Structure 1
């Protein structure tokens, strides 16, 4: 702001932009392959909940595909965008708030892309290159066994006094690592308009790919002779190497084409020999382990709004349909609960440590003091993954984990840079295609109408929207329009029991610091089936419902919450939600059916699946609905 392209311009008159580009198939039929590239521009300094709504997001254009292939180059279309940005880098616009012209500066300062898009947009190396990392000088090593580039320089990111640097046995490089922390190159700290400064790793695809690769490996989908041969090349995990064939087995020469043709009619087809079974490995789940993990995954109960759905995710990986669902599978401790006790102890501890780091990487906010510890813990987690798991996991996406937290101080947490809403905008683009062969023109015609409608809604020209979309809700917030709260559904009025009245009296005595009698408490209340509460950190509405309403309403389970009761953390299900009037003030309360006091079991809290008592708590004292699971008459609380 002070030394860069804006040169002390007033912040309200600066328009810093980010560019998102990604290929998408416009055809619903996946056998008809084609790729178009929408170019979407976002305004960086808008609030996160507004920035990623299509409307404030601008669809600048669509790069058409080259027949059934991707476009050969984006440059001709990017040149048009650059020319317009250069002509408007400093311009005079009318400010409706001050009713006067103002000088505005516009600059494209950030790129939101995955690795293939970085490669095409900024002419960088592809993800399979030896020098594939855009953020450091890491050089990969090509492995002929697995036919891929391995990135095994993880220990160079650790502090120089780390004990892992001295290990000469368990890592791929059988030497002591002496070089210092690599990190980002010095150009990263310059505030000027610079390519190296405006690229950050795509956290969404990186974390989703790391999770998928790990699940494929531990279930055996990506394990095989090539993986074991790669470990043998680096003299690791000797017990997992394939055994050599016996010396008595004859080695047959390959017959010539002429011999094959002459014996085609007379030859008896020999049965294809079965490949020898792979030796057991500490990172593999057994068949019984996969089945148990699937059963655990199917027993998980989740709140409303989750992309994750219970299914046999370890047998059918495609049931984790979305990248957001994969993130929730790990960050809500579901994956750790499913595989607990099924891997060797070092591998389990390493995976749980990595899952915890991913959970921390996806927090909505951080304090400055947390960042350095997060950077070191992330590098340590990747180092342990190299030590305890096959090197086939050490691809460019795993390497990018080192660089994700390095950009938090300058660019903020991943919460403000997720590509989820941008991917949903791509999905919107594909749904607007009305005529195949002219995909781009039909989408842009529809978008012109949508953009005009968005302007009318956000500017307040249209006050009442028939549908409560995210765009309409944001317009109400921007224009300070307050509607009647319809977030609760009320039923009839009821009389509270004497035990409940006694609890309310005690609460009111504590709140108002007075001594009320039982007859001072109105016994008549209004019961609610469900309610919402705004979460300040997540910046969205959280849904709560009673168990009675949930049994017939939906598949989600929004009735199990935690609360601090006396000195213990307790869990319970919401039996009643009600409004109670006291001293002309309506306060919302919940009546919970309480489970026994839980015990710690590893990362989780567990208790018997039975109710022992009920209690009333203020609505603002209970937690958001928790993810829980049932197993052997026990209830496990996963994301406490």
Structure 2
């Protein structure tokens, strides 16, 4: 199985094998990280080499002009620093789900079952041999985060879709429909009346659904509780409610930022003439390197916009180019959303800033309902107001948004196939070949201990013949927790240490004046 294969090599990855405990190397330490339970009752990460994993499932169209959809199942190791976590050799491609279309929850369970079987075994730990520990060392694995877009996240953990009356996987609110229609009314932001879902009730509801004897009985339970049985419920340590994150990439940028353009143009608040003039303004904005520029996209009604494009539009362009084109009251409401995003996408965030961003989002959502009507409120806007709990549980959004997984979908899509049959197998083989090649090179580290230039040459050769897809997490200097601890206890050495962790420029949104 891919999980076992990668676990055997995990301790050969820089940043894992020398960790005395399972604490993260360069990863944000959050409430869930500290609280996550081990099978001995102690925190899971208190033991050596206890690795916490993030699961991502996503579908993509492998062919142009085709509705055929393929699903990829990824795992990443949260203990690794961001500089290592999304490198090709460290991303675990668990499997590729064939089409013709996106799988239902019951179908996904068939693919999750063997993965869950292995995770159950690894939770207690296995002794395995590695390049660093040829005599064997004990490694534990546990699923920590379910990080997908909303439809995939709901299917994976057994929640009903956003089109149901139980449209939220964080709270138990029962939504209604607009009179005379089947459209869900997501409006209303009286947070004090939102009863949060709990791990205990989720498990009870899932087991009730599994034990129901008829499909009609299951549909009634879905309507009442918004929960189905998922294979992930077999992981008794895993909390589907808290661990299913609200992905900021889809929620904020591909969701609300994109939605508001539609609202403004449909209500004639922005015309084609406005968009063309806004494009002229945008073309005059000089951005720092690595910021995404929106050449011609604003004036062309935002076609083919990626998540990074929408992020750049929201944080950089919109406050400047909307001024003078969008009516003032609408612009002021939009800037509440922009300010909230600027706080939330920072690589570090204080609890005061979490509270401030939540208040800004609440004011924005109430403003959308007042300005445009309840019909324009989306499930994403409801989920905005649960984003604070995700940050409290798992740290800054920057630590777990799904930009990198989307890039790997693009990498799989670019693999040449015959486009006739068994191409899912081709995707899997090519990906594992890339991973295996780098693991093979790493196995020679001990032989090349005194000839590092040989090892460097092999790695450079692999970079040329098997280029790694770019990621948003680039760090140029390796963080050593042992050195950090030594410096913290030796003030004479620490006083001579300077520097910081380099971050992508677009992690720091541009400031702007009113």
Which residue of 412, 416, 419 maps to 2:395? 412
**Cα separation, partners in 2 of 1:457 and 1:304, compared to 1, 3 Å:** farther
Mapped partners of 1:151, 1:358: distance in 2 = 21
String of CA shifts for 1:505-531, please: whole Å, max 9, x gaps.
xxxxxxxxxxxxxxxxxxxxxxxxxxx
Aligned counterpart, 1:370:
353
Corresponding position: 1:43 with 2:77: yes
Which residue of 194, 218, 224 maps to 2:264? 218
Aligned counterpart, 2:386:
403
Mapped partners of 2:474, 2:264: distance in 1 = 44
Q: How many residues of Structure 1 are paired with residues of Structure 2 in the alignment?
A: 407
Aligned residues: CA RMSD = 3.5
**CA deviation after TM superposition for structure 1 residue 104, in Å:** 2.2
Superposition pairs of residues 275-294 of structure 1, within 5 angstroms:
284-294=269-279
Mapped partners of 2:50, 2:270: distance in 1 = 54
String of CA shifts for 1:513-570, please: whole Å, max 9, x gaps.
xxxxxxxxxxxxxxxxxxxxx9946524x69xxxxxxxxxxxxxxxxxxxxxxxxxxx
**Cα separation, partners in 2 of 1:308 and 1:391, compared to 1, 3 Å:** farther
**CA deviation after TM superposition for structure 1 residue 424, in Å:** 0.5
SS of equivalent residue, structure 1 residue 74 = helix
**CA deviation after TM superposition for structure 1 residue 22, in Å:** 0.8
Which residue of 186, 189, 205 maps to 1:151? 186
Unaligned runs of 5+ in 2: 1-33, 203-235, 446-454, 481-497
Mapped partners of 2:509, 2:146: distance in 1 = 36
**Cα separation, partners in 2 of 1:470 and 1:131, compared to 1, 3 Å:** same
**Cα separation, partners in 2 of 1:188 and 1:354, compared to 1, 3 Å:** farther
SS of equivalent residue, structure 1 residue 16 = strand
Which residue of 444, 455, 468 maps to 2:428? 444
Superposition pairs of residues 173-322 of structure 1, within 5 angstroms:
180=192, 182=194, 184-187=196-199, 192-207=237-252, 208-220=254-266, 223=267, 284-319=269-304, 321-322=305-306
Superposition pairs of residues 528-607 of structure 1, within 5 angstroms:
536=500, 539-540=503-504
Aligned counterpart, 2:173:
138
- Tell me if structure 1 keeps the 8 A contact 2:169–2:197: no
Aligned counterpart, 1:422:
405
String of CA shifts for 1:346-394, please: whole Å, max 9, x gaps.
2121111111112212111112343233323322222222222333331
**CA deviation after TM superposition for structure 1 residue 477, in Å:** 5.5
Unaligned runs of 5+ in 1: 158-179, 224-280, 481-533, 544-623, 628-636
**Cα separation, partners in 2 of 1:39 and 1:381, compared to 1, 3 Å:** same
SS of equivalent residue, structure 2 residue 74 = strand
Which residue of 121, 139, 143 maps to 2:156? 121
Mapped partners of 2:393, 2:36: distance in 1 = 15
Mapped partners of 2:500, 2:388: distance in 1 = 23
| TM-score, with structure 1 as normaliser | 0.57
Aligned counterpart, 1:463:
456
Aligned counterpart, 2:136:
101
**CA deviation after TM superposition for structure 1 residue 286, in Å:** 4.4
Which of the pair is proportionally richer in helix?
A: 2
Aligned counterpart, 1:339:
322
Mapped partners of 2:508, 2:73: distance in 1 = 38
Mapped partners of 2:437, 2:513: distance in 1 = 41
Mapped partners of 2:469, 2:297: distance in 1 = 36
- Tell me if structure 1 keeps the 8 A contact 2:84–2:90: yes
Where relative contact order (Cα < 8 A, 6+ residues apart) is larger, the structure is 2
Mapped partners of 2:49, 2:509: distance in 1 = 43
SS of equivalent residue, structure 1 residue 352 = helix
| TM-score, with structure 2 as normaliser | 0.71
- Tell me if structure 1 keeps the 8 A contact 2:60–2:69: yes
Which of the pair is proportionally richer in strand?
A: 1
Which residue of 34, 43, 61 maps to 1:25? 61
**Cα separation, partners in 2 of 1:292 and 1:390, compared to 1, 3 Å:** farther
**Cα separation, partners in 2 of 1:141 and 1:476, compared to 1, 3 Å:** closer
SS of equivalent residue, structure 2 residue 143 = strand
Aligned counterpart, 1:5:
38
Corresponding position: 1:78 with 2:112: yes
SS of equivalent residue, structure 1 residue 311 = coil
**Cα separation, partners in 2 of 1:307 and 1:287, compared to 1, 3 Å:** closer
Corresponding position: 1:391 with 2:345: no
